[in-house]
């Protein structure tokens, strides 16, 4: 149990999730009630209470509007990383649109934080070696050192059954895939998201312990809106999207407290420092 896992947060507001994109398009974002500063503040308080430092993959759109939040994340010892600018899936952006999106996000984040941004996570883990074979090369060319954007395994529609489970060097960046436990029937995601809220905590903990017992470091992720049970309800969203988004929000904070206590955690750039050392920087950030 002494292995350290990476704790990560995808910083976006409640109305920016892909599941609601059909009913709340990006043009409508500006008019929505902004809750990301308060909910991310709650996350920061939980980490401070547990003495945990994490990586915050933050949307450029959020950083542009809330630079004080970026400064608080950094002041409390966390790593600032990129979640892209506009939260569009990578396969939909195409190579040139992807380049523009990650360049803009990195610039906004570095301007707000005054630090180099090395890491990137694709919206809804929309990078796969099959669908977006150009993505890692473009990330490297735009000055990123690592990505945590691939969901391997046969567990969901977006799972990439062919992707590796362990970090690999991918066209100039280190790809650290989300944590999946392989089993003969199906692969078990033990990396957070809706799965963490819907699975009994003990079962989730057992899964992550098995990962660590095999000598593998896990990557856990969640969103600030998951600790905000009072967020507005999007009644027009599809039923399945609403089920995934709203189930278990009230038990999220106590579960996170337990998870932070039951495992050792760190930032992506610390936990994967050995592999990152082998990745040469393509271009130094300004």
> Closer to Zn ion at the Cβ: 212 or 244?
244
- Give per-residue burial for 23-57: e unless 16+ CB within 10 Å, then b: ebeeeebeeeeebbeebbeebbebbeebebbbbbb
- Determine if 13 is a binding residue for Zn ion (CB under 5 A): no
- Determine if 123 is a binding residue for Zn ion (CB under 5 A): yes
C-beta neighbour count of 121 within 10 angstroms: 28
The closest residue (CB) to Zn ion is 10
Of the ranges 123-131, 160-168, 224-232, 258-266, which one interacts with Zn ion (CB under 5 A)?
A: 123-131
Residues that bind Zn ion (rule: CB under 5 A) add up to a total of 3
Closest CA to 193 of 245, 271, 120: 245
Q: Which residues pair with 188 in a beta bridge?
A: 181
Of the ranges 88-96, 118-126, 184-192, 235-243, which one interacts with Zn ion (CB under 5 A)?
A: 118-126
Per-residue tokens: 140: 């490297």
Of the ranges 119-127, 131-139, 172-180, 197-205, which one interacts with Zn ion (CB under 5 A)?
A: 119-127
> Closer to Zn ion at the Cβ: 12 or 228?
12
> Closer to Zn ion at the Cβ: 10 or 110?
10
- Determine if 177 is a binding residue for Zn ion (CB under 5 A): no
Exactly one of 10, 110, 175, 187 binds Zn ion (CB under 5 A); that residue is 10
CB of 46 to Zn ion, least distance (A): 19
Question: In angstroms, what CA-CA distances link 133 with 91, 136, 230?
Answer: 10, 7, 40
List residues binding Zn ion (CB under 5 A).
Answer: 10, 12, 123
């Amino acid at each position: 149990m002494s292995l350290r896992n990476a704790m990560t947060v995808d910083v976006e507001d409640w109305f920016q999730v892909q599941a609601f994109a059909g009913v709340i398009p990006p043009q409508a974002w500006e008019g929505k009630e902004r809750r990301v500063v308060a909910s991310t503040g709650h996350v920061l308080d939980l980490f401070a209470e547990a003495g945990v430092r994490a990586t915050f993959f933050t949307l450029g759109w959020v950083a542009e509007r809330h630079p004080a939040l970026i400064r608080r994340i950094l002041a409390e010892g966390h790593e600032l990383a990129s979640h892209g600018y506009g939260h569009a899936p990578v396969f939909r952006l195409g190579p040139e649109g992807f380049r523009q999106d990650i360049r803009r996000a990195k610039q906004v984040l570095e301007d707000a934080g005054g630090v180099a941004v090395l890491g990137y996570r694709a919206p809804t883990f929309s990078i796969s070696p099959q669908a977006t074979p150009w993505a890692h090369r473009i990330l490297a060319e735009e000055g990123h050192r690592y990505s945590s954007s691939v969901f391997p395994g046969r567990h969901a529609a977006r799972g990439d059954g062919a992707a590796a489970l362990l970090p690999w060097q991918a066209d100039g960046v280190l790809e650290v895939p989300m944590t999946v436990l392989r089993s003969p029937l199906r692969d078990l995601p033990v990396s957070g998201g809706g799965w963490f809220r819907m699975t009994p905590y003990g079962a989730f903990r057992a899964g992550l312990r098995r990962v660590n017992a095999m000598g593998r470091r896990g990557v856990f992720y969640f969103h600030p809106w998951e600790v905000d049970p009072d967020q507005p309800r999007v009644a027009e969203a599809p039923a399945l999207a609403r089920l995934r988004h709203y189930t278990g929000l009230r038990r999220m904070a106590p579960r996170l407290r337990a998870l932070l206590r039951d495992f050792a955690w760190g930032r992506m750039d610390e936990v994967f420092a050995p592999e990152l050392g082998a990745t040469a920087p393509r271009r130094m950030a300004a």
